[in-house]
Amino acid sequence: MLKIGITGGIGSGKTTVCRVFETLGIPVFYADVVAKDIMVSDPLLIAGVKQAFGEASYLEHQVLNKAHIAQIVFNNETELAKLNALVHPAVFRAFDQWVEQVPANSPYILKEAALLFESDSYKMCDKTIVVVAPFSLKKSRVMLRDQVTEAQVQARMDKQFSDEHKIKMADFLIHNEESASIILQVLALHEQFIK
Ligand code: ATP
């Protein structure tokens, strides 16, 4: 089955674009949502996290101790890489399982991931889409959605590849700015993918 990876900077509108694909009946794997979920449900991952960051990584009843993990990986590239080396393969495993159960008549599937390129996850996809939007629009959308400051959005943006870098790696682009219709762009890509 054709696998399309979709990514874009924070606030570019990846999830919004994926919702449009879903209305066309296309199954979407939301890697970032799954990553959060498996942190508390994948026994192999939980064991790895406890081994790497201590038993204090989990509170009672398998509740993730986010403050503990954040304190370790915050501004520490080595520890963050250690966490990613545990989480990314677990997400890949979850993706493989998910692909097995999508309806067989689906013409293609989408994998949405903020770090599609950074995590090498794009290598498991046949094609990639990057959603792009102007810098100021992305910032204002996220500030409004998450009720955070400009500096907090900037800090998150700094952890991702630049748009220029992502655009170079992309097979297709979707422009999600005020004047562009994402519906028409999604329909055009959908037509290509089902051919
Ligand atoms: P993140 O990386 O933070 O998960 P994202 O790329 O998935 O972000 P979305 O959550 O889809 O981005 O969009 C960010 C915000 O901007 C949301 O509140 C969404 O409703 C809004 N938004 C996105 N695209 C549009 C649009 N074309 N018109 C109006 N609002 C939009």
Report the predicted TM-score, pTM, of the whole model to 2 decimal places: 0.92
Please, what is the average pLDDT of the chain? 94
Of 141, 183, 184, best ligand 1 pocket probe by most atoms within 8 Å of the beta carbon: 141
d(CA 49, CA 140): 34
Topology classification of domain 1-27+106-195 = Rossmann fold (3.40.50)
d(CA 106, CA 91): 21
Ligand 1 atom nearest 16 alpha carbon: 11
Ligand 1 atom nearest 18 alpha carbon: 11
Q: Any residues with Cβ below 6 Å from ligand 1, and which?
A: 8, 10-16, 114, 141-142, 145, 176, 182
Rounded to the nearest whole angstrom, what is the distance from the C-alpha of residue 43 to the centroid of ligand 1?
Answer: 32
Ligand 1 atom nearest 17 alpha carbon: 11
The answer on pLDDT for 79 being more than 90 is yes
pLDDT in the model for residue 156 = 86
Closest residue by CA, ligand 1 atom 18: 145
d(CA 87, CA 35): 7
Cβ-based burial of 130 (10 A; exposed 0-12, middle 13-18, buried ≥19): buried
Rounded to the nearest whole angstrom, what is the distance from the C-alpha of residue 25 to the centroid of ligand 1?
Answer: 20
The answer on pLDDT for 91 being more than 90 is yes
d(CA 6, CA 80): 23
The answer on pLDDT for 39 being more than 90 is yes
Average pLDDT of the residues in 166-183: 93
Domain range list for the chain: 1-27+106-195, 35-101
